[in-house]
Chain A
Amino acid sequence: MIATPMELGSLKLALMAAVVAGSAIYSEFLTTPAPEKGAVHVTYWEKWTEFEGDAMRAVVDEFNREHPNIHVDLLTISNIQDKTLMAVAGGVPPDVAGLFGPDVAQYADDNAVLILDDYCKKAGIKPDDYIRPFWDMSFYRGHVYALPSAPASTALHYNKTLMQESGLDPNKPPKTIEELDSMSDRITKFGPNHSLLRAGFMPAEPGWWNWAWGYNFGGRLWDGKDKITALSPENIRAFTWIQHFAKIYGSQALQTFRSGFGNFSSPQNAFLDGKVAMEQQGVWMYNFISKYAPGLKWGAVPFPYPADRPDLKDMTYADEDILVIPRGAKHPNEAFEFIKFVESQKGMELLCMGQRKNSPLKKVSPEFYAKHPNPFIRLFTDLPKGKNTVEPPKLGIWPEYQDALNNAFDEVNLLKSTPAEALKEVQDRMQPELDEYLLRLRARGVIK
C-alpha cells in the first residue's frame, strides 16, 4: 500500500514530535547526576562566593568524606532570600539554605522553614553551647528555626598613621563618643572652598548599620511586643549626633567627598584609602585590609560610648549567617546531619577560620586563636559575650523597617529633616505596619 502525501505528512509530524520528546528526556538524563550508590543527596544553597564560599566548600567536602551515606551538593545562589522564597512556594526547595540571621522572623512567621527543636534535642545541641546573641538570633517565638554558620561582630577600626599625623597618640584610640568627636575634628582636613579632603569619622561610612546608631545611645527600635519605638529620646539623640557631622563637614561638601569613594571591596574603599580614619567595621575587615592595603597600620577597639552612659560600654553589632531547612525539603534528616556537622567545633572552626571570622561557639580550641590571621580575633569573639550586643529586631516587617530607618538616616545626613521629623516619619509609617502585621498573624493563629 502506498501512503498518501497527507499520511506521510502526519508520519513526519509524529516522528518529529518523538525526536523532540526523546531529546528532552535524553538531555534530562544527561544533566541529572548519577546518585552514588546508597548515598542520599542533600541540596544545599549558599550565598557566598570567593574565599567565603571556598571555606564553606571545604566544610562540605570534609562532611562528604566523613559521611559516605550522605552527599551534600553545594550550589552557590545569588539573591538567595528571593530564590529560597520562590522555591519553597513552588514546593521544590533545597534541603538546606544559607540565609541571613535577620531573615529568621520573616521566614518563621510564613512557616517557610522547619522548627529544629527536636533535631537539636536529639543531637544534643543546646543554647549553652553558643555565645548568647548567636543562639538568640536563631531562636524565635520559643522555637529554634535555624542554627548559626559564620557569625560576625563589629568594632571601631582606626588608622594609626592618620592619628599620628594629626598629633594624636595612635595607641590611645577614643573610648567615649566625645573623644571620638574631638579626635575626628583633629583628623579631618578641609581644602579650598571648605571641600572635604579627609574625614576623621562619618556615621554614613560604610552605611550598613544606619539603622543601629540609636542603640549606641541606649535606644531601642521596638518594645519586643507591639510598639515601634523609633521616636525615642535616645534615638533622637543618636540622629542628632549623626547630623552634627553633616553640619561640621557641610552637607554639600560631604556628598561631594563621598561621591569619590570606591566600592567597598576595592583599594578605593574610604578606610583603606585613608579618606576616613575611623570606622565601625566587622571582623571581616581584616580580609580587605590584607588584600587591598597590606601596609595599613590599624587597630580595632570597642566602639565608644556616650560619656554619660558608661553602661553602654563595649557595644557591638552582632550578625550571623544561618542554616535552615526549608519547608518541603526532601531529606530533612540528612540535611540536619550536615547542619550538625557545621555546628560541631571541628566544622565551625574550619568554616570560621576559612572565612576568617569569630566562632559562635563558646568552646574554641587554642589552635583556632593561634592560627587565626586577624590580630584582633579575641576582641571580636569577646565583644558579643557582653550585655551590650545589638541584634537586628526579630520582626517580620524588619526589611521594611530597616529601609524606613535608612531613609531617615539619609534625610538627616542630607540636612533635609531634623532628627525628630525623620524619626517621626518612621514611627508613623511603621507602627501601622506592625499593627497590621500582628493582626494578620493573629488571624492566621500564629500568635494569640
Chain B
Amino acid sequence: MSSPRKSESRAGLLFASPWFLGFLVFLAYPLLASIYYSFCDYSVLKAPVWVGLSNYRELWRDDVFWITLKNTGVYALFALPLGVVVSLALALMLNAKVRGLAFYRTAIYIPSLVPLVSLAVLWLWMFNGEYGLVNVGLKHLGLGSPPWLSDPAWSKPALVVMSLWGLGNAVVIYLAGLQDVPQEMLEAAELDGARSWDKTRHVTLPMISPVILFNVIMGIIGTLQIFTVPYVMFPGGVPARSTYFYAMYLFDNAFRFHKMGYACAMGWIMFLIIFVLTMVSLRASEKSVHYGGS
C-alpha cells in the first residue's frame, strides 16, 4: 500500500476508533463474557464458578422457564401476523392520494414516539374494566366488558391489542417501500385490465416483498423480546404468570434473584431461537421475495 493510502486508512481507522472501542467494550466483550457466564454459577457480586452445563440442564427442568417461553411464543404468534397485516394495510391506505394525507401519516406515526413506560401506564387506564375507554366503547357496542388486566384469558390479548399502538415505525418502512414501486408497472397492469386489488396483489406486494420480509424479521426479534410494557403493566407476570414473558424472567433471574449465569444461559437460548426463526424466514421467503437486482 502506498504511503498516502496507508495514512488515509490510518486516519479512517482513527475516526472509526470510537465506534470500534464502543463495540469491543460494550458489545463484543459482554457477548463473549455472557457465553462464559452461562456455564457458571455467577451472582454478579461473587467470582463466577464453572458449573458446566448445569444452568442449561436446570432450565430444561424449570417449569417457569417453559411457561415464559410458551407465553412469549403465543404472544408472538398473534402479535406478529396482526402487526404485519395491519401495518401493511395502513401503509397501503396512506399511500393513496387523498386529501389530508400528511395529517393521517403524522397521526399514525406519532403514537410510536410515546415512551414505552408512559404507554404502559396510559394503557393501564385504557384497559381499566370500569373506567377504561376500551370497555366503555365495547359496552356501547353491546360487547360486554372483559377484565383485560385481571383475567389470565384476557391479559395476553390486551397486550396483543396494545402492540398495534406502536406500528408507526413499520408503516413508515412500508411507505418508503411503496414509493419505490415503479409507476409504469402499475400502469401496464391497469392497461391489461387489472383492478385495484389485482394491482396490489400482483404488482405492489411482490415489489415490496423484501420490505415485508425485513419487517417480519424485525417483528420476530421484537415480539420475542417483549419486556417493558408487561413489566410495567403486569409486575411479576400477573395474573397467574399469564403475562410472564421470557425477557421478564431473564431479567428477574439476573437482577432480582442474583442468578446471572442462569440468565446468560436464557439469553443464549433466546438468541438461538431468534437465529433459527430468522434463518427459517429467509429460507422460506426465497421463492416469494423478489429483489430488484435479481
Contact = CB atoms under 8 A, between A and B. Distances in A.
Nearest to B41: A440
Contacts of A260: 128-131
A443 B54 CA distance: 16
B124 A85 contact: no
Interface in A245-260: 252, 255-260
B247 to A, nearest CB: 15
Interface stretch (A39-47, A163-171, A336-344, A406-414): A406-414
Interface in B109-168: 124-125, 127-131, 145-152
A85 B44 contact: yes
Contacts of A257: 129
Contacts of A252: 147, 151
B238 interface: yes
B255 A256 contact: no
Contacts of A440: 41
B206 interface: no
Given A82-B255, A411-B240, A268 B151 contact: no
Given A89-B44, A259-B128, A262-B131, A81 B255 contact: yes
B153 to A, nearest CB: 9
Instruction: Label chain A's interface by main secondary structure.
Output: helix
A260 B147 CA distance: 8
Interface residues of A, number: 42
A111 B241 contact: no
A30 interface: no
Interface string A384-421: 00000000000011011001001100110010100000
B1 to A, nearest CB: 14
A257 B4 CA distance: 76
20 contacts: A6-B4, A10-B7, A13-B14, A82-B255, A85-B44, A106-B258, A111-B45, A252-B147, A256-B147, A257-B129, A258-B147, A259-B127, A259-B129, A263-B124, A268-B131, A327-B45, A416-B152, A416-B240, A429-B63, A444-B46
Interface of B: 4, 7, 11, 14, 41, 43-46, 49, 63-64, 124-125, 127-131, 145-152, 236, 238-241, 252, 255-258
Given A85-B44, A259-B145, 12 more contacts: A13-B14, A89-B44, A110-B43, A256-B150, A259-B128, A268-B131, A396-B258, A399-B257, A407-B240, A429-B64, A440-B41, A443-B49
**Minimum-distance CB pairs A-B, first 4:** A259-B129, A260-B130, A259-B147, A410-B240
